Amino acid sequence: MINSIPEPAIKRLSALYQLLCRLEVSEVNAISSREIGDRLDISAHTVRKDISYLRESQTSGARYTVLKLKELIARSLNFATSRKACVVGLGKIGTAIINYSRFSSYGFDIVAGFDSNVNIVETLPAETDLFPSYMIPEIVKEREIELAILAVPFEAAQLCVDRLVKGGIKGIVNFSSALLTTDKNIVITDVDVTKELRVLSAMISLGSK
Protein backbone atom coordinates (compact mmCIF):
# COMPACT_ATOMS: atom_id res chain seq x y z
CA MET A 1 0.00 0.00 0.00
CA ILE A 2 1.28 3.40 -0.90
CA ASN A 3 -0.99 6.30 -0.45
CA SER A 4 1.54 8.76 0.79
CA ILE A 5 2.94 10.21 -2.42
CA PRO A 6 2.60 14.00 -2.21
CA GLU A 7 0.60 15.71 -4.95
CA PRO A 8 3.56 17.56 -6.55
CA ALA A 9 5.44 14.23 -6.77
CA ILE A 10 2.41 12.60 -8.44
CA LYS A 11 2.41 15.37 -11.04
CA ARG A 12 6.13 15.02 -11.67
CA LEU A 13 5.91 11.22 -11.86
CA SER A 14 3.08 11.54 -14.40
CA ALA A 15 5.27 13.84 -16.49
CA LEU A 16 8.09 11.32 -16.13
CA TYR A 17 5.76 8.54 -17.27
CA GLN A 18 4.90 10.55 -20.38
CA LEU A 19 8.62 11.13 -21.03
CA LEU A 20 9.33 7.40 -20.68
CA CYS A 21 6.54 6.58 -23.17
CA ARG A 22 8.15 8.92 -25.66
CA LEU A 23 11.64 7.55 -25.01
CA GLU A 24 10.29 4.05 -25.57
CA VAL A 25 8.94 5.06 -29.00
CA SER A 26 12.31 6.65 -29.78
CA GLU A 27 13.96 3.35 -28.74
CA VAL A 28 15.97 4.80 -25.87
CA ASN A 29 16.58 2.00 -23.35
CA ALA A 30 18.10 3.65 -20.28
CA ILE A 31 18.27 7.11 -18.74
CA SER A 32 19.96 8.70 -15.73
CA SER A 33 18.27 10.85 -13.09
CA ARG A 34 20.31 13.77 -14.37
CA GLU A 35 19.08 13.33 -17.96
CA ILE A 36 15.51 12.99 -16.68
CA GLY A 37 15.94 16.17 -14.65
CA ASP A 38 17.24 18.08 -17.68
CA ARG A 39 14.23 16.98 -19.72
CA LEU A 40 11.67 17.84 -17.05
CA ASP A 41 13.36 20.96 -15.70
CA ILE A 42 13.80 19.59 -12.19
CA SER A 43 16.91 18.59 -10.24
CA ALA A 44 18.35 15.08 -10.41
CA HIS A 45 17.85 14.94 -6.64
CA THR A 46 14.10 15.56 -7.01
CA VAL A 47 13.93 12.88 -9.71
CA ARG A 48 15.55 10.32 -7.39
CA LYS A 49 13.35 11.36 -4.49
CA ASP A 50 10.17 11.03 -6.56
CA ILE A 51 11.21 7.58 -7.80
CA SER A 52 11.97 6.52 -4.23
CA TYR A 53 8.24 6.85 -3.42
CA LEU A 54 7.50 3.94 -5.78
CA ARG A 55 7.47 0.33 -4.68
CA GLU A 56 10.58 -1.71 -5.50
CA SER A 57 12.40 1.31 -6.83
CA GLN A 58 15.89 0.76 -8.22
CA THR A 59 18.93 2.06 -6.42
CA SER A 60 19.49 5.68 -7.19
CA GLY A 61 23.02 5.51 -8.58
CA ALA A 62 22.31 3.39 -11.64
CA ARG A 63 20.72 4.42 -14.91
CA TYR A 64 17.04 3.55 -15.03
CA THR A 65 15.72 1.04 -17.53
CA VAL A 66 13.05 2.95 -19.47
CA LEU A 67 10.61 0.07 -19.78
CA LYS A 68 10.93 -1.09 -16.17
CA LEU A 69 10.59 2.38 -14.70
CA LYS A 70 7.58 3.07 -16.89
CA GLU A 71 5.84 -0.09 -15.69
CA LEU A 72 6.73 0.65 -12.08
CA ILE A 73 5.14 4.11 -12.28
CA ALA A 74 2.06 2.72 -14.03
CA ARG A 75 1.61 0.12 -11.30
CA SER A 76 2.29 2.49 -8.41
CA LEU A 77 0.03 5.26 -9.69
CA ASN A 78 -2.66 2.83 -10.79
CA PHE A 79 -2.64 3.87 -14.46
CA ALA A 80 -4.11 0.51 -15.50
CA THR A 81 -7.46 1.41 -13.87
CA SER A 82 -9.90 2.36 -16.59
CA ARG A 83 -11.99 5.45 -15.80
CA LYS A 84 -15.07 6.99 -17.32
CA ALA A 85 -14.91 10.59 -18.43
CA CYS A 86 -17.16 13.21 -20.00
CA VAL A 87 -16.65 16.40 -22.00
CA VAL A 88 -18.59 19.49 -20.93
CA GLY A 89 -18.89 22.19 -23.61
CA LEU A 90 -18.97 21.18 -27.25
CA GLY A 91 -17.40 24.21 -28.90
CA LYS A 92 -14.29 23.78 -31.02
CA ILE A 93 -11.98 22.49 -28.30
CA GLY A 94 -14.63 20.24 -26.73
CA THR A 95 -15.55 18.76 -30.10
CA ALA A 96 -11.92 18.12 -30.95
CA ILE A 97 -11.47 16.30 -27.63
CA ILE A 98 -14.65 14.22 -27.82
CA ASN A 99 -13.68 13.02 -31.28
CA TYR A 100 -10.11 12.15 -30.30
CA SER A 101 -10.25 8.39 -30.40
CA ARG A 102 -7.00 7.57 -28.59
CA PHE A 103 -8.17 8.24 -25.01
CA SER A 104 -9.70 4.79 -24.68
CA SER A 105 -6.36 3.15 -25.46
CA TYR A 106 -4.96 5.10 -22.50
CA GLY A 107 -7.70 3.86 -20.18
CA PHE A 108 -10.11 6.79 -20.41
CA ASP A 109 -13.57 6.11 -21.81
CA ILE A 110 -15.43 9.24 -22.86
CA VAL A 111 -19.01 8.14 -22.22
CA ALA A 112 -20.92 11.43 -22.47
CA GLY A 113 -20.77 14.95 -23.87
CA PHE A 114 -22.76 17.95 -22.64
CA ASP A 115 -23.65 21.36 -24.04
CA SER A 116 -26.15 24.02 -22.97
CA ASN A 117 -27.12 24.53 -26.61
CA VAL A 118 -29.71 21.87 -27.48
CA ASN A 119 -29.15 22.41 -31.21
CA ILE A 120 -25.51 21.36 -30.84
CA VAL A 121 -26.50 18.33 -28.77
CA GLU A 122 -28.96 17.22 -31.44
CA THR A 123 -26.89 17.86 -34.54
CA LEU A 124 -23.20 17.37 -33.68
CA PRO A 125 -21.75 14.27 -35.34
CA ALA A 126 -20.11 12.29 -32.53
CA GLU A 127 -19.85 8.67 -31.55
CA THR A 128 -20.47 9.57 -27.92
CA ASP A 129 -23.93 10.12 -26.37
CA LEU A 130 -24.67 13.83 -26.06
CA PHE A 131 -26.96 15.52 -23.54
CA PRO A 132 -28.11 19.03 -22.62
CA SER A 133 -26.12 20.51 -19.72
CA TYR A 134 -28.94 20.45 -17.18
CA MET A 135 -28.72 16.64 -17.27
CA ILE A 136 -25.10 16.63 -16.02
CA PRO A 137 -25.86 15.57 -12.40
CA GLU A 138 -28.16 12.73 -13.49
CA ILE A 139 -25.93 11.29 -16.22
CA VAL A 140 -22.67 11.61 -14.24
CA LYS A 141 -24.25 9.68 -11.38
CA GLU A 142 -25.99 7.08 -13.57
CA ARG A 143 -22.92 6.30 -15.70
CA GLU A 144 -20.45 6.53 -12.79
CA ILE A 145 -18.36 9.16 -14.54
CA GLU A 146 -15.28 10.10 -12.50
CA LEU A 147 -13.50 12.65 -14.70
CA ALA A 148 -14.68 15.69 -16.66
CA ILE A 149 -12.96 17.76 -19.32
CA LEU A 150 -14.40 21.26 -19.00
CA ALA A 151 -14.27 23.31 -22.22
CA VAL A 152 -16.94 25.96 -21.67
CA PRO A 153 -16.60 29.75 -21.74
CA PHE A 154 -15.47 31.54 -18.59
CA GLU A 155 -18.99 32.64 -17.61
CA ALA A 156 -20.47 29.13 -17.72
CA ALA A 157 -17.65 27.33 -15.92
CA GLN A 158 -18.73 27.54 -12.28
CA LEU A 159 -22.33 26.46 -12.99
CA CYS A 160 -21.06 23.41 -14.87
CA VAL A 161 -18.65 22.57 -12.05
CA ASP A 162 -21.47 22.76 -9.51
CA ARG A 163 -23.52 20.34 -11.63
CA LEU A 164 -20.57 17.97 -12.02
CA VAL A 165 -19.98 18.02 -8.26
CA LYS A 166 -23.67 17.28 -7.68
CA GLY A 167 -23.30 14.19 -9.87
CA GLY A 168 -20.28 13.00 -7.86
CA ILE A 169 -17.39 13.89 -10.19
CA LYS A 170 -13.90 13.29 -8.76
CA GLY A 171 -11.58 15.23 -11.06
CA ILE A 172 -11.76 18.02 -13.65
CA VAL A 173 -9.39 19.06 -16.43
CA ASN A 174 -10.17 22.76 -16.80
CA PHE A 175 -9.74 24.30 -20.27
CA SER A 176 -11.75 27.38 -19.32
CA SER A 177 -9.97 30.45 -18.01
CA ALA A 178 -12.13 30.44 -14.86
CA LEU A 179 -10.75 29.99 -11.37
CA LEU A 180 -12.82 27.06 -10.17
CA THR A 181 -13.80 26.51 -6.59
CA THR A 182 -15.43 23.46 -5.08
CA ASP A 183 -16.35 22.69 -1.51
CA LYS A 184 -15.49 19.06 -1.73
CA ASN A 185 -12.16 17.37 -2.33
CA ILE A 186 -12.23 17.38 -6.08
CA VAL A 187 -8.96 17.51 -7.97
CA ILE A 188 -8.70 20.14 -10.67
CA THR A 189 -5.95 20.71 -13.19
CA ASP A 190 -5.76 23.66 -15.59
CA VAL A 191 -4.79 23.55 -19.26
CA ASP A 192 -4.09 26.96 -20.70
CA VAL A 193 -2.42 27.64 -24.04
CA THR A 194 -2.07 31.34 -23.25
CA LYS A 195 -0.08 30.46 -20.14
CA GLU A 196 2.21 28.20 -22.18
CA LEU A 197 2.79 30.99 -24.71
CA ARG A 198 3.60 33.38 -21.85
CA VAL A 199 6.15 30.97 -20.37
CA LEU A 200 7.91 30.69 -23.73
CA SER A 201 7.75 34.42 -24.22
CA ALA A 202 9.32 35.09 -20.81
CA MET A 203 12.05 32.52 -21.40
CA ILE A 204 12.88 34.14 -24.74
CA SER A 205 12.88 37.64 -23.18
CA LEU A 206 15.06 36.73 -20.25
CA GLY A 207 17.34 34.55 -22.34
CA SER A 208 17.07 31.74 -19.81
CA LYS A 209 18.00 29.36 -22.60
**106 part of the interface to a copy of itself, by CB under 8 A:** yes
Residues from 34 through 73 that contact a copy of itself (CB under 8 A): 41-42
Min. distance of Cβ 74 from a copy of itself in angstroms?
9
Contacts of 159 (CB under 8 A, 6+ apart): none
Sheet holding 130-132, edge to edge: 130-132, 108-115, 83-88, 147-150, 171-174, 187-190
- CA distance linking residue 86 with residue 129, whole number of Å: 10
Of the candidates 55, 106, 47, 104, which has an alpha carbon nearest to the alpha carbon of residue 77?
55
**177 part of the interface to a copy of itself, by CB under 8 A:** yes
Q: Which is nearer to a copy of itself, 25 or 123 (CB)?
A: 25
Min. distance of Cβ 11 from a copy of itself in angstroms?
5
- CA distance linking residue 119 with residue 116, whole number of Å: 9
Min. distance of Cβ 31 from a copy of itself in angstroms?
12
Min. distance of Cβ 91 from a copy of itself in angstroms?
8
- CA distance linking residue 115 with residue 112, whole number of Å: 10
- Contact with a copy of itself (CB under 8 A) among 93, 126, 135, 156: 93
Contact flags string 6-25 toward a copy of itself, x per CB under 8 A:
xxx-xx-xxx-xxx-xxx-x
